[in-house]
């Protein structure tokens, strides 16, 4: 069953076609890798899908509904959540707060329940606190829980971002270079977590331009060049494809 | 809930209790048969104290907007003025300038809050979706426009004379001047404490977390599913409504409103107070306000001793305030009691 269906997507930035007539669909439960040389349009593809930029043309359907140009917050609430290539953390908030923020449907985020501190609101907040602590611990950030996120190292920021998006319990998770700037041990660790999430049923799309990490992780590999899909298939076949070899050697 | 959360929360509850107690005490005192003579030297302190109570309400609204949500409102005075004029026009009786409708004052006070909120909503709706700096310009312009309107549409606003004959409920029950001033002082400080309690309750809840997240990074906040525009609108409107409330109180205390009460000086004072104390920390911004208003009070006395005219002295005072601000920005960029990491400034 198709969860994400991208048809003839196009994004132009002042004459430059960052995404050019790209079509791609992802089934529920898949773990898909997206790779391609610098400037191939990988991040722009994520930006178009997650509502961060509006596509010039084409459609994006999520869970059977057309969501082209929908706002990021609406998509996130529907279960389509993404991370950023250049990790964006809420630097002026603690690690704990970063994670708690992301919990969906919090009564305490509305004025009246926040003021009255109703029973229901307190109950929700207790669950949020508990779940956030679990995630912070699972990502081995507990010793940093009260640290401001701006004080974290690059690798820790990647972990924090993962913990934060998992708070939303997404149906589709888009990860933009979750291994960038992360040491090899942590890379393996993050890869294991991604696989575990996928095993539990989460659909995940991972961008990465390091071949090795990605091929070992995913079931299916999509290679982009110049804004469109060059090859799409299982990792072994894709890696043997002449065009891929060429694209990468030509870099 | 961490210990810090609980302390912050308890703080709000304490302020609520103190606020209610002060309001009740002030009202009881006002209707009591006691009289007090307020010595002349003391009355200036009480006067500044009364204003301080109103300014606390202003700075708390601004701290919700800027300190928490990162919204730059350079026209805070306009919401104060709108609240004051609305209350004055509705409640005043037989003002010789402008319009006076003679409605009951509680109604006028509520209307002052509502109209200020509506003005806030209009300004917010037109500029909050645009680039961040647009709000700064829009608010500054709104304040300027309203000022011009009050001066020129004298049929409604009384021109530079303003509106007189606004009922003064506290004076009406308390009678003599000293008693009125003392009761007003306690009443306004109580209302300021209540405002502090409400705002603290809001910002220590998950609601405040969303506001601080917007200030930190709006795109991240959106991508975890928060409708940031709605929160920005709310924070802006709440701040405007609080300023409107302070304005209404001012009109009903002062008995008159005029453009000269609502200059950019009001905006400057609350901004300096907030930055001096430390934005995003409600207690710190009140502290900063106390410092800046205390300085002004002190300088009134100093003026009597200094061999300069009051005009010269006013400019000297501005220079001193400017220098203090430079020192704070240089050595404590997050404010005297502010947290540099929470504000994201390098110290
Ligand atoms: N907001 C923007 N404005 C203008 N041009 C942009 C914008 N975003 C991306 N581009 C351009 O679009 C092209 C594709 O960029 P994109 O970031 O999607 O590539 P990428 O495949 O993610 O590359 P990388 O591996 O370096 O992350 C690049 O040429 C880039 O300069
Ligand atoms: Mg990229």
Token couple for B113: 């809050």
Distance CA A155, CA A165 (A): 16
- Across residues A35-54, what is the average pLDDT? 92
Distance CA A6, CA A1 (A): 14
Query: 3-state SS string over chain B?
Result: CCHHHHHHHHHHHHHHHHHHHHHHHHHHHHHCCCCCCCCHHHHHHHHHHHHHHHHHHHHHHHHHHHHHCCCCCCCHHHHHHHHHHHHHHHHCCCCCCCCCCCCCHHHHHHHHHHHHHHHHHHHHHHHCCCCHHHHHHHHHHHHHHHHHHHHHCHHHHCCCCCECCCCCHHHHHHCCHHHHHHHHHHHHHHHHHHHHHHHHHHHHCHHHHHHHHHHHCHHHHHHCCCCHHHHHHHHHHHHHHHHHHHHHHHHHHHCCECHHHCCHHHHHHHHHHHHHHCCCCHHHHHHHHHHHHHHHHHHHHHHHHCCCCHHHHHHHHHHHHHHHHHHHHHHCCCCCCCCHHHHCCCC
Supply the DSSP symbol for A150. G
Q: Range with the lowest mean pLDDT among A163-172, B29-38, B108-117, B290-299?
A: B29-38
Q: Which of A89, A22, A79 is nearest to A50 (CA)?
A: A79
Q: Give the pLDDT confidence score for residue B4 in this predicted structure.
A: 47
Residue ranges of chain A whose CB lies within 8 Å of a chain B CB = 50, 52, 71-73, 76-77, 81-82, 84, 88-93, 96-97, 100-102, 104, 106, 108-111, 113-115, 117, 121, 125, 128-129, 146, 148, 150-151, 164-165, 167-168
Distance CA B241, CA B57 (A): 10
Mean residue pLDDT of chain A comes to: 89
Q: How many CB pairs under 8 A join A and B?
A: 110
Q: Range with the lowest mean pLDDT among A43-47, B109-113, B157-161, B242-246?
A: B157-161
Q: Which of A205, A208, A197, A199 is nearest to A168 (CA)?
A: A197
Q: Give the pLDDT confidence score for residue B301 in this predicted structure.
A: 76
Confidence of residue A173 (pLDDT cuts 50, 70, 90): very high
- Across residues A180-193, what is the average pLDDT? 86
- A22, A41, A213, best to mutate for ligand 1 pocket (most atoms within 8 Å of CB): A41
Residue B210 CA to its chain's centroid (Å): 23
Distance CA A131, CA A133 (A): 5
Distance CA B62, CA B42 (A): 30
Token couple for A217: 């992780």
Please state the pTM of the whole predicted model. 0.91
Residue of chain A minimizing CA distance to B222: A73
Distance from the alpha carbon of residue A204 to the mean position of ligand 2, in angstroms:
17
Residue pLDDT, tens place only, B209-239 = 999 999 999 999 999 999 999 999 999 999 9
Token couple for B176: 């003599």
Residue of chain A minimizing CA distance to B224: A102
- Across residues A194-223, what is the average pLDDT? 88
Q: Given a cut of 60, is residue B13 above it in pLDDT? A: yes
Q: Range with the lowest mean pLDDT among A64-78, A109-123, A237-251?
A: A237-251
Confidence of residue B102 (pLDDT cuts 50, 70, 90): confident
Q: Given a cut of 80, is residue B39 above it in pLDDT? A: no
Distance CA B109, CA B85 (A): 10
Find which of B196, B206, B229, B279 to mutate to test the A interface (most A CBs within 10 Å of its CB). Answer: B206
Q: Give the pLDDT confidence score for residue B114 in this predicted structure.
A: 98
Supply the DSSP symbol for A109. G
Contact assessment for residue A220 and residue A30, using Cβ atoms and an 8 Å cutoff: yes
- Number of other residues whose CB lies within 10 A of the CB of residue B330: 9
Position in ligand 1 atom list of the atom nearest CA A53? 1
| CA-angle at A165, arms to A164 and A170, nearest 5° | 150
Contacts of residue B272, defined as CB under 8 A and 6 or more positions apart, other chains included, come to: B288, B292, B321, B325
Supply the DSSP symbol for A108. G
A191 within ligand 1 shell (Cβ under 6 A):
no
Q: Give the pLDDT confidence score for residue B10 in this predicted structure.
A: 58
Distance from the alpha carbon of residue A51 to the mean position of ligand 1, in angstroms:
16
Distance from the alpha carbon of residue A6 to the mean position of ligand 2, in angstroms:
18
**What residue has token string 């426009």?**
B145
Picking from A76, A121, A146, the nearest residue to B224 by CB comes out as: A76
Distance from the alpha carbon of residue B227 to the mean position of ligand 2, in angstroms:
26
Confidence of residue A136 (pLDDT cuts 50, 70, 90): very high
Q: Which of residues 188-227 of B touch A (CB under 8 A)?
A: 198, 201-202, 205-210, 212-213, 215-217, 219-227
A90/B207 touch (CB, cutoff 8 Å), yes or no: no
Q: Which of A18, A20, A9 is nearest to A61 (CA)?
A: A9
Q: Given a cut of 80, is residue B7 above it in pLDDT? A: no
Q: Given a cut of 50, is residue B160 above it in pLDDT? A: yes
Q: Given a cut of 50, is residue B277 above it in pLDDT? A: yes
Helix or strand (DSSP H, E) at A65? strand A65-66
Q: Given a cut of 70, is residue A250 above it in pLDDT? A: no
Beta strands in A134-227 (DSSP E): 172-176, 203-207, 220-225
Confidence of residue B202 (pLDDT cuts 50, 70, 90): very high
Token couple for A119: 């029973």
Q: Give the pLDDT confidence score for residue B3 in this predicted structure.
A: 46
B207/A52 touch (CB, cutoff 8 Å), yes or no: no
Better pLDDT: A184 or B307: A184
Better pLDDT: A71 or B6: A71
Contact assessment for residue A167 and residue A132, using Cβ atoms and an 8 Å cutoff: yes
- Across residues B77-99, what is the average pLDDT? 91
B225/A110 touch (CB, cutoff 8 Å), yes or no: no
A228 within ligand 1 shell (Cβ under 6 A):
no
Residue pLDDT, tens place only, B252-266 = 999 999 999 999 989
* β-strand partners of A17: A12
Supply the DSSP symbol for A111. H
Nearest ligand (C-alpha, residue A83): 2
Distance CA B213, CA A89 (A): 10
- Across residues A27-45, what is the average pLDDT? 91
Instruction: Spell out the long-range contacts of A208-214 with Cβ–Cβ below 8 A and sequence spacing 24 or more.
Output: A208/A33, A208/A34, A208/A35, A208/A177, A208/A178, A208/A179, A208/A180, A209/A35, A209/A36, A209/A37, A209/A38, A209/A42, A209/A177, A210/A179, A211/A35, A211/A239, A211/A248, A213/A179, A213/A187, A214/A33, A214/A35
Residues measured by CB to lie within 5 Å of ligand 2, the ion? A 42-43, 85
Helix or strand (DSSP H, E) at A199? helix A184-199
- Across residues A196-209, what is the average pLDDT? 91
Token couple for B158: 């009384």
Distance CA B199, CA B13 (A): 11
Q: Give the pLDDT confidence score for residue B297 in this predicted structure.
A: 83
- Across residues B181-204, what is the average pLDDT? 94
Is residue A176 helix, strand or coil? strand
**What residue has token string 């829009």?**
B138
Q: What percent of chain B has pLDDT over 70?
A: 96
HSE-up of residue B216 (Cα within 13 Å, Cβ side): 27
B201/A121 touch (CB, cutoff 8 Å), yes or no: no
Q: Give the pLDDT confidence score for residue A249 in this predicted structure.
A: 61
* β-strand partners of A175: A206
Token couple for A136: 């912070």
């Amino acid at each position: 069953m198709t969860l994400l269906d991208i048809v003839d997507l196009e994004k132009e930035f002042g004459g430059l076609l960052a995404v050019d007539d790209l079509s791609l669909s992802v089934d529920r439960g898949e773990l898909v890798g997206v790779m391609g040389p610098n400037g191939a349009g990988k991040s722009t593809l994520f930006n178009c899908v997650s509502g961060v930029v509006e596509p010039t043309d084409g459609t994006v359907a999520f869970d059977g509904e057309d969501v082209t140009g929908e706002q990021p917050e609406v998509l996130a609430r529907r279960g389509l959540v993404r991370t950023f290539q250049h990790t964006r953390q809420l630097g002026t908030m603690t690690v704990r707060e970063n994670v708690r923020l992301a919990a969906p449907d919090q009564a305490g985020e509305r004025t009246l329940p926040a003021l009255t501190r109703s029973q229901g609101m307190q109950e929700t907040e207790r669950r949020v606190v508990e779940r956030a602590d679990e995630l912070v611990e699972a990502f081995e950030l507990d010793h940093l829980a009260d640290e401001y996120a701006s004080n974290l190292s690059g690798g820790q920021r990647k972990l924090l971002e993962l913990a934060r998006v998992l708070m939303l319990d997404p149906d589709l998770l888009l990860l933009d270079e979750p291994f960038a700037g992360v040491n090899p041990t942590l890379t393996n660790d993050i890869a294991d977590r991604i696989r575990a999430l996928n095993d539990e049923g989460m659909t995940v799309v991972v961008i990465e331009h390091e071949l090795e990490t990605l091929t070992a992780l995913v079931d299916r590999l999509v290679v982009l060049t110049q804004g469109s899909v060059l090859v799409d298939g299982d990792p072994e076949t894709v890696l043997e494809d002449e065009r891929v070899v060429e694209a990468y050697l030509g870099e | 809930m961490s210990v810090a959360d609980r302390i912050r929360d308890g703080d709000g509850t304490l302020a609520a209790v103190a606020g209610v107690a002060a309001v009740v005490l002030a009202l009881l005192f006002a209707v009591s048969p006691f009289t007090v003579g307020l010595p002349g030297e003391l009355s200036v302190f009480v006067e500044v104290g009364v204003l301080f109570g109103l300014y606390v309400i202003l700075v708390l609204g601004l701290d919700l907007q800027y300190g928490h949500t990162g919204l730059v409102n350079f026209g805070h005075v306009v919401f104060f003025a709108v609240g004051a004029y609305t209350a004055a026009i509705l409640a005043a009786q037989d003002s010789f300038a402008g319009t006076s409708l003679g409605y009951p004052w509680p109604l006028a006070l509520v209307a002052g809050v509502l109209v200020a909120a509506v003005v806030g909503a209009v300004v917010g709706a037109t500029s909050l979706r645009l680039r961040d700096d647009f709000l700064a310009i829009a608010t500054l312009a709104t304040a300027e426009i309203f000022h011009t309107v009050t001066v020129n549409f004298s049929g409604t606003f009384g021109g530079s004379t303003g509106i007189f004959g606004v009922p003064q409920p506290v004076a009406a029950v308390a009678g003599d001047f000293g008693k009125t001033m003392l009761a007003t002082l306690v009443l306004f400080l109580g209302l300021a404490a209540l405002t502090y309690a409400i705002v603290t309750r809001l910002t220590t809840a998950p609601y405040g977390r969303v506001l601080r997240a917007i200030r930190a990074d709006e795109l991240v906040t959106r991508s975890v599913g928060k409708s940031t525009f709605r929160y920005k609108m709310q924070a802006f409107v709440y701040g405007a409504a609080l300023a409107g409330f302070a304005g209404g109180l001012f009109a009903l205390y002062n008995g008159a409103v005029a453009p000269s009460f609502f200059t950019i000086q009001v905006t400057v004072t609350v901004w300096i107070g907030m930055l001096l104390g430390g934005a995003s920390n409600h207690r710190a911004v009140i502290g900063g306000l106390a410092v800046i208003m205390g300085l002004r009070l002190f300088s009134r006395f100093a003026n009597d001793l200094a061999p300069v005219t009051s005009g010269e002295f006013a400019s000297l005072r501005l220079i001193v305030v400017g220098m203090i601000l430079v020192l704070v920005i240089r050595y404590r960029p997050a404010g005297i009691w502010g947290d540099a990491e929470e504000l994201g400034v390098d110290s």
